[in-house]
Protein backbone atom coordinates (compact mmCIF):
# COMPACT_ATOMS: atom_id res chain seq x y z
CA UNK A 1 0.00 0.00 0.00
CA UNK A 2 1.36 3.42 -0.85
CA UNK A 3 1.97 5.92 1.90
CA UNK A 4 -0.77 8.43 0.87
CA UNK A 5 -3.33 5.61 0.69
CA UNK A 6 -2.18 4.37 4.09
CA UNK A 7 -2.50 7.84 5.59
CA UNK A 8 -5.97 8.28 4.05
CA UNK A 9 -7.20 4.95 5.35
CA UNK A 10 -5.80 5.75 8.81
CA UNK A 11 -7.63 9.08 8.92
CA UNK A 12 -10.83 7.46 7.62
CA UNK A 13 -10.56 4.67 10.21
CA UNK A 14 -10.34 7.17 13.09
CA UNK A 15 -13.37 9.15 11.88
CA UNK A 16 -15.31 5.94 11.17
CA UNK A 17 -14.61 4.53 14.63
CA UNK A 18 -15.71 7.75 16.31
CA UNK A 19 -18.91 8.07 14.27
CA UNK A 20 -19.76 4.40 14.66
CA UNK A 21 -19.26 4.40 18.43
CA UNK A 22 -21.33 7.55 18.85
CA UNK A 23 -24.14 6.10 16.74
CA UNK A 24 -24.04 2.82 18.67
CA UNK A 25 -24.20 4.68 22.02
CA UNK A 26 -27.21 6.65 20.78
CA UNK A 27 -28.79 3.47 19.33
CA UNK A 28 -28.80 5.22 15.96
CA UNK A 29 -27.09 2.57 13.81
CA UNK A 30 -30.09 2.20 11.43
CA UNK A 31 -30.01 5.95 10.80
CA UNK A 32 -26.25 5.86 10.30
CA UNK A 33 -26.65 3.00 7.84
CA UNK A 34 -29.19 5.00 5.80
CA UNK A 35 -26.88 8.04 5.79
CA UNK A 36 -23.87 5.97 4.73
CA UNK A 37 -25.82 4.35 1.89
CA UNK A 38 -27.02 7.79 0.74
CA UNK A 39 -23.46 9.15 0.80
CA UNK A 40 -22.19 6.10 -1.10
CA UNK A 41 -24.82 6.63 -3.78
CA UNK A 42 -24.04 10.36 -3.97
CA UNK A 43 -20.32 9.66 -4.39
CA UNK A 44 -21.05 7.10 -7.11
CA UNK A 45 -23.41 9.37 -9.02
CA UNK A 46 -21.82 12.81 -8.72
CA UNK A 47 -18.52 13.59 -10.40
CA UNK A 48 -18.85 17.16 -9.05
CA UNK A 49 -18.98 15.88 -5.47
CA UNK A 50 -15.94 13.64 -6.02
CA UNK A 51 -14.06 16.58 -7.55
CA UNK A 52 -15.05 18.94 -4.72
CA UNK A 53 -13.87 16.62 -1.94
CA UNK A 54 -10.57 15.74 -3.61
CA UNK A 55 -9.49 19.02 -5.20
CA UNK A 56 -7.22 21.36 -3.23
CA UNK A 57 -8.53 24.25 -5.34
CA UNK A 58 -11.64 24.57 -3.19
CA UNK A 59 -11.16 26.54 0.04
CA UNK A 60 -12.30 25.34 3.45
CA UNK A 61 -15.21 27.74 3.27
CA UNK A 62 -16.29 26.52 -0.19
CA UNK A 63 -16.07 22.89 0.92
CA UNK A 64 -17.96 23.63 4.15
CA UNK A 65 -20.67 25.49 2.23
CA UNK A 66 -21.01 22.68 -0.29
CA UNK A 67 -21.20 20.05 2.43
CA UNK A 68 -23.78 22.06 4.38
CA UNK A 69 -25.94 22.31 1.26
CA UNK A 70 -25.46 18.60 0.52
CA UNK A 71 -26.40 17.60 4.08
CA UNK A 72 -29.53 19.76 3.97
CA UNK A 73 -30.61 18.42 0.57
CA UNK A 74 -30.00 14.78 1.53
CA UNK A 75 -31.55 15.14 4.99
CA UNK A 76 -28.64 13.46 6.77
CA UNK A 77 -28.61 12.97 10.54
CA UNK A 78 -27.03 15.51 12.88
CA UNK A 79 -24.17 13.13 13.71
CA UNK A 80 -23.17 12.71 10.07
CA UNK A 81 -23.76 16.41 9.37
CA UNK A 82 -21.44 17.45 12.21
CA UNK A 83 -18.82 14.90 11.16
CA UNK A 84 -18.83 16.12 7.56
CA UNK A 85 -18.68 19.74 8.77
CA UNK A 86 -15.67 18.91 10.95
CA UNK A 87 -14.00 17.08 8.07
CA UNK A 88 -14.52 20.11 5.84
CA UNK A 89 -13.11 22.46 8.49
CA UNK A 90 -10.04 20.22 8.89
CA UNK A 91 -9.68 19.72 5.10
CA UNK A 92 -10.22 15.99 5.46
CA UNK A 93 -13.09 15.50 2.99
CA UNK A 94 -10.72 13.69 0.63
CA UNK A 95 -11.10 10.57 2.85
CA UNK A 96 -14.90 10.49 2.47
CA UNK A 97 -14.92 7.43 0.14
CA UNK A 98 -12.72 5.49 2.58
CA UNK A 99 -14.88 6.67 5.50
CA UNK A 100 -18.01 5.39 3.78
CA UNK A 101 -16.35 2.03 3.06
CA UNK A 102 -15.12 1.72 6.66
CA UNK A 103 -18.55 2.54 8.07
CA UNK A 104 -20.24 0.06 5.73
CA UNK A 105 -17.86 -2.66 6.90
CA UNK A 106 -18.37 -1.78 10.58
CA UNK A 107 -22.17 -1.74 10.26
CA UNK A 108 -22.18 -5.04 8.37
CA UNK A 109 -19.94 -6.61 11.01
CA UNK A 110 -22.23 -5.36 13.78
CA UNK A 111 -25.23 -6.88 12.01
CA UNK A 112 -23.41 -10.16 11.34
CA UNK A 113 -23.43 -9.54 7.60
CA UNK A 114 -20.76 -9.85 5.01
CA UNK A 115 -20.71 -8.10 1.64
CA UNK A 116 -20.03 -10.08 -1.51
CA UNK A 117 -18.91 -8.18 -4.59
CA UNK A 118 -20.48 -9.92 -7.57
CA UNK A 119 -19.55 -9.13 -11.15
CA UNK A 120 -21.75 -10.77 -13.77
CA UNK A 121 -21.81 -10.75 -17.56
CA UNK A 122 -25.40 -9.47 -17.44
CA UNK A 123 -27.59 -8.04 -14.71
CA UNK A 124 -28.82 -10.58 -12.18
CA UNK A 125 -32.54 -11.03 -11.74
CA UNK A 126 -34.03 -10.80 -8.26
CA UNK A 127 -34.44 -14.60 -8.17
CA UNK A 128 -30.81 -15.19 -9.23
CA UNK A 129 -29.54 -12.68 -6.66
CA UNK A 130 -31.63 -14.28 -3.90
CA UNK A 131 -30.38 -17.79 -4.79
CA UNK A 132 -26.76 -16.62 -4.91
CA UNK A 133 -27.13 -14.82 -1.60
CA UNK A 134 -28.68 -17.90 0.01
CA UNK A 135 -25.95 -20.19 -1.36
CA UNK A 136 -23.19 -17.88 -0.12
CA UNK A 137 -24.88 -17.50 3.27
CA UNK A 138 -25.03 -21.31 3.64
CA UNK A 139 -21.35 -21.60 2.79
CA UNK A 140 -20.10 -18.66 4.89
CA UNK A 141 -22.46 -18.90 7.83
CA UNK A 142 -23.40 -15.22 7.84
CA UNK A 143 -26.01 -13.13 6.08
CA UNK A 144 -24.68 -12.03 2.71
CA UNK A 145 -25.38 -8.66 1.14
CA UNK A 146 -24.65 -8.52 -2.60
CA UNK A 147 -22.98 -5.59 -4.28
CA UNK A 148 -23.43 -6.29 -7.98
CA UNK A 149 -21.78 -4.94 -11.09
CA UNK A 150 -22.05 -5.86 -14.77
CA UNK A 151 -19.03 -6.55 -16.99
CA UNK A 152 -19.98 -7.80 -20.45
CA UNK A 153 -16.36 -8.84 -21.14
CA UNK A 154 -16.88 -11.83 -18.82
CA UNK A 155 -18.97 -13.33 -21.67
CA UNK A 156 -20.87 -15.45 -19.13
CA UNK A 157 -20.67 -16.60 -15.52
CA UNK A 158 -19.78 -14.73 -12.35
CA UNK A 159 -16.86 -13.40 -10.36
CA UNK A 160 -17.66 -13.39 -6.63
CA UNK A 161 -15.41 -11.77 -4.03
CA UNK A 162 -16.13 -12.30 -0.34
CA UNK A 163 -13.43 -10.94 1.92
CA UNK A 164 -10.12 -12.36 0.72
CA UNK A 165 -11.74 -15.19 -1.26
CA UNK A 166 -12.58 -15.00 -4.94
CA UNK A 167 -14.61 -17.43 -7.02
CA UNK A 168 -14.23 -16.90 -10.78
CA UNK A 169 -16.63 -18.96 -12.89
CA UNK A 170 -16.57 -16.60 -15.87
CA UNK A 171 -16.22 -17.92 -19.38
CA UNK A 172 -13.48 -15.36 -20.00
CA UNK A 173 -11.27 -16.90 -17.28
CA UNK A 174 -11.92 -20.40 -18.63
CA UNK A 175 -10.96 -19.26 -22.14
CA UNK A 176 -7.82 -17.61 -20.76
CA UNK A 177 -6.88 -20.84 -18.97
CA UNK A 178 -7.47 -22.82 -22.15
CA UNK A 179 -5.37 -20.38 -24.14
CA UNK A 180 -2.51 -20.72 -21.63
CA UNK A 181 -2.75 -24.51 -21.79
CA UNK A 182 -2.60 -24.39 -25.60
CA UNK A 183 0.53 -22.19 -25.43
CA UNK A 184 2.24 -24.72 -23.17
CA UNK A 185 1.54 -27.56 -25.59
CA UNK A 186 2.69 -25.82 -28.75
Position 120 pLDDT exceeds 50: yes
Structural domains of the chain, ranges and CATH numbers in brackets: 3-109 (1.10.520.20), 113-185 (no CATH)
The percent of residues in the chain predicted with pLDDT above 90, rounded, is: 83
Question: What is the DSSP secondary-structure string of 54-74?
Answer: H-TTS-HHHHHHHHHHHHHHH
Residue 184 has pLDDT above 90, yes or no: no
**pTM of the predicted model, to two decimals?**
0.75
160 vs 151: CA distance, rounded Å? 12
For residues 77 and 84, give the distance between their C-alpha atoms in angstroms, rounded to a whole number.
11
For residue 4, what pLDDT is reported?
A: 63
* pLDDT band with cut points at 50, 70 and 90 for residue 40: very high
Categorize the per-residue pLDDT at 7 as very low, low, confident or very high, splitting at 50, 70 and 90.
confident
Average pLDDT over residues 176-182: 91
Q: Report the pLDDT value the prediction gives residue 1, as an integer from 0 to 100.
A: 45
Region 164-174: what's the mean pLDDT?
Answer: 91
pLDDT for the residue numbered 9: 87
Provide the pLDDT confidence category of residue 151 given band limits of 50, 70 and 90: very high
> What's the whole-number average pLDDT of the chain?
92
Sign of the torsion angle spanned by Cα atoms 12, 18, 147, 33: negative
124 three-class SS: coil
Residue 33 has a pLDDT of 96
Q: Is 90 exceeded by the pLDDT of residue 73?
A: yes
Residue 91: pLDDT band with limits 50, 70, 90: very high
Contact 64, 88 (CB under 8 A): yes
DSSP strand pairing (143-150 vs 113-120): parallel
- pLDDT at residue 46, as a whole number: 95
> With 80 as the cut, is the pLDDT of residue 6 above it?
no
Q: For the chain, what percent of residues have pLDDT higher than 70? A: 97
What pLDDT, on a 0 to 100 scale, did the predictor assign at position 8?
84
Amino acid sequence: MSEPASISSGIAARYATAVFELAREDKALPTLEQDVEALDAALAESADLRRMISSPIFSREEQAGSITALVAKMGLSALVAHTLGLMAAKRRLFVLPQLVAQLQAMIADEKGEVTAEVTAASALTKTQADKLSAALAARIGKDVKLKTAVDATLIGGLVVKVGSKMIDTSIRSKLDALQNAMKEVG
